Structure formats: C-alpha cells, structure tokens
Structure 1
C-alpha cells in the first residue's frame, strides 16, 4: 500500500486547499495545549512525502514531527523535505507507533485505505496514550462533474466498490471511512468533530484531473464495468469537479 511521489505531488495543492480550516485550527490548538510551553511532538501516520507537515507548518513551525511510513523512499523524501524524524513501520504494528511524549497524531488520505478493525485498534491505542487524532481528506464517495455524463453514476458506484477492496490490511472502509471512523472514535470515548473537505477542481488542475480520471476509470474497469474506459476517454476533456472528502478531529 503505497503511492508514487509524482501522484502525491500532483494532489498536494488540491489537498491543501480542501482541508477544513476550522478543524485544522482545532488540531493546531490541541497540539499546543497538550504541549504546554514545550514544542509540540506530532506523529504523522502514512506520511508519504510530508504533506501533512507542510499543511501545518505555518501554524506550528516549532513542532517536532515523527514521520511514520512503510515506504522507505517516501519516508526518506519526507524526512529530507521536512526535517522530521523517520520511523519505518508497517502500520499493522500499531503497538510500535512512537507515541511516547506525543501531543497529537495526524494522517491524511489514509483512513479510506484501512479496515474497520484497524481504525478501532488505532482508537484504542490513542485512547490509552491520551493523544488526540486529526485525520484529513478521507474520500467520502461523492463525485460531482460538470458537465454531467450518462455514465457518471455507474462509474462512481464501481469506483466506490473498488475502494472497499483489500488494500493490504483487509477490506478497506473506502468511501465509508470518515463516518465510520467518527463512530468508532466516539465509541472509544473521544469527542469527535467532522467537516467536509472536498476537492474543487478547475482547469488549473488539468494534470491532476487527467491522472484522477485515468485512475478512476482503471479502478472501475477492474470491478467489471466494461464502459469505464469509454467514460475515461470522454472525461479527458476537462470538466469542473467536486470530489468529496471528510476531515476528522478526535479528542480523548
């Protein structure tokens, strides 16, 4: 379960623009309050190239980041670009997370790849550690395209089915991730807030649009939707799009 640095670079500006400002500010406040007079220590799960660090860096320039990822190349790039401390870990091994002295745990575009049992285990681990959790940009299953094409609904449904497949740790939550994670963390005693964080794609994101459409079409085709590639070809002409995501902030 890994992504190319090229794809992560393409999506980062859209991710940054989409993050809900109030929940991001809430996460910053949580880290500062928990740290007191000391610099906050933040653990970023599935760090990729460090996009979460860059999203919070302006508000938390003094923070110490512990970067967690299984991909050695992405982890090295994240450490180089952010100055954070790398921890190469398989996310199955939640007991190995470097949580000692941590004030906040973060993740971006991660929960939709994970099964419910993993989210429940993470909630239990963070509850025991007394650490809050800020998880941004979980895909929520909604795609709105302008202009509308006849195959949009079928492709979205097929893509959502594909997203619920096994991404390496069991059947993923896919488009249900944000809502289920909110429920699970609440069941573990967290105070949970959520907010929409959709991508709003315009012609300025042409390269991202092209890669996104190709990926959606390929995933939908893998579910058996024979017309998926025809949809992808029709969608190569740029449209505006709203791709739904959900942000979450959970406080123990």
Structure 2
C-alpha cells in the first residue's frame, strides 16, 4: 500500500472541501486542551493542513507512515515541529498510540481489513477521527451507459487486498462504526463527498484512469473505453464520489484505561 506525493497533492483540494466541518470541529474539541494528535498514514501531512489551525497553540503531532519520503514532506509542512515515526501500519501493536488524545486517519480505513479495524478498536482508548473513507457511491453528469457496471467492478476491486488483508473498501466506515460501537465508543458519521467539476479536470482524468484500470482488473470488459471517454469529457463533466467521515469518542471505561496508563 502506498501513494505518490503527486496523487496526494492532486486530491487534497477535493479532500479539504469534502470534510464535514461540524465533525472536524467535534474532533478538535474531543482532543482536549493539551492535544497530542497521532496521525496514522500521514502521507504528506494533509490532515495537519486541514486541522492544525483549529487546535490550540502548542498542540503536539506524531506523524506515522511507512514511507520515509512522505514523512519528510509532512515534517517540512509542519515546520519540523512534529514527531516522526516510520512504522508498518499493518502492525497494530506497534503503532505509537501512547499518550494520544486524538488519533486521526484520512482515506485509510477503506484500504485496511476488517481484522485491522477490529484490532485497532481493541487497542484504542482515545478518540478516533477517520475521514474520507470511500463509500461506494459515484454519480456522473452527463451519464455514460457503462457508469453502473464500472462502479460495480471498481467496488469489487476496492475490496481486494491492498497489503493489509482483504480491504473493507465501501464498507469501511460502517464496519469501523460497528467495531468501535461494540467497544463502547460513541460513534458519529457524516457524509464527505467529493464534488469534482470541470475546474478539477486534472483530478478527474487521474481519477477515471485509476477507476478504469481497477475496474478492468476486476473483469469489466469495457472499462478502458469508459475511461477514455471520461477523460476526453473531463472539461464538461461533474462527478460526485461518496465518502464518509467518522468520529468515535471513548466511553468511560476507555477514558479510565487511558488515565491508568498515564
């Protein structure tokens, strides 16, 4: 599992616009007056850029990623003020969650397995704010006769192994909510869809290229033709790509456990 810095930069404006503002503000409040935010799969620091301005001065960040090049970019964005941890995200027990008052992840849960989310829920005793999990919904205007078939094939591909076991794909937010709720967390969800118009044609072209490739790999025979049509029409196309944000706040038992560790 890994993404290029170019792709992360291209999608960031759509991500930033899509985040549910009310849930983000609740996450900031849940982190407390002296926050330590542990950002899992930090990439180039997009979560920091989306949230840092909302935290009080002196908030501490711990960036966690398995790509040292992305960690370096994230560190530069944060002005060198963040703790950097190069770690295998697959190893839940090794994740540096100690002392966290908020754990964050962006566009991560749809790439991991159900077992991974369940293990994270077992270990967490701090709030979790996980944004921008793909939910399986795509709408295009104007429509193409192959849209539904391509979406179906793409969603099938999203459930394949991305390096952390069979991925949850479109089921990510729902399954995470179930696992966290079972552990006593209070879980809230909010929609955070991408709305991509002709002004984001470059993102549309990259997106439809990736969707077409994934759909073709999943067996959609007309996927590449669909991708070519979508790319040629990007200057006149609008699309909505569904995502969900979740915020899980621990109940009394988890809070007491956190204080006991400290």
List structure 1 segments (4+ residues) > 4 angstroms apart after TM superposition. none
Alignment of 1:14-93 (within 5 A): 14-32=14-32, 36=33, 39-60=34-55, 62=57, 63-82=59-78, 83=80, 84-93=82-91
Mapping of residues 97-116 of structure 1, within 5 Å: 97-116=95-114
CA shift at 1:100, angstroms?
2.0
> What are structure 1's unaligned runs of at least 5 residues?
none
Does residue 152 of structure 2 align to residue 157 of structure 1? yes
TM value normalised by structure 1:
0.95
- Residue in 2 that maps onto 1:219: 214
Give the deviation of 1:120 after TM superposition.
Answer: 0.5
Specify the SS of the correspondent of 1:235: helix
1:205 aligns with 2:200: yes
In structure 2, distance between residues paired with 1:223 and 1:103: 40
Cα distance in 1 between the residues matched to 2:163 and 2:218: 18
Measured against aligned partners, the alpha-carbon deviations of 1:111-169 in whole angstroms (never above 9, x if no partner) come to 0000000000001110xxx2010000000000000011100000000000000000011
Q: Distance in 2 between matches of 1:47 and 1:148?
A: 35
Q: Deviations over 1:218-251 (max 9, x none)?
A: 0000111110001001111121000000000001
Cα distance in structure 2, aligned partners of 1:223 and 1:61: 46
Name which of 114, 122, 125 aligns with 1:124.
122
Q: What does the per-residue CA deviation read over 1:162-201, in whole Å, with 9 as the maximum and x for residues that have no partner?
A: 0000001110000110111111110111000000000001
Match of 2:7 in 1: 7
Counterparts of residues 172-251 of structure 1 (less than 5 Å): 172-236=167-231, 237-238=233-234, 239-251=237-249
Residue 144 (structure 1) aligned with residue 144 (structure 2): no
Q: How many aligned residue pairs are there?
A: 244
- In structure 2, how many angstroms separate the alpha carbons of the residues matched to 1:97 and 1:216? 31
The Cα shift of 1:61 comes to: 5.3
Q: TM-score, normalised by structure 2?
A: 0.91
CA distance in 1, matches of 2:113, 2:92: 14
Q: Offset of 1:209 from its aligned partner?
A: 0.6
CA distance in 2, matches of 1:58, 1:200: 24
Q: Distance in 2 between matches of 1:229 and 1:95?
A: 41
Alpha-carbon distance in 1 for matches of 2:130, 2:164: 18
Residues in 2 aligned to 1:186 and 1:106: alpha-carbon distance in whole angstroms = 17
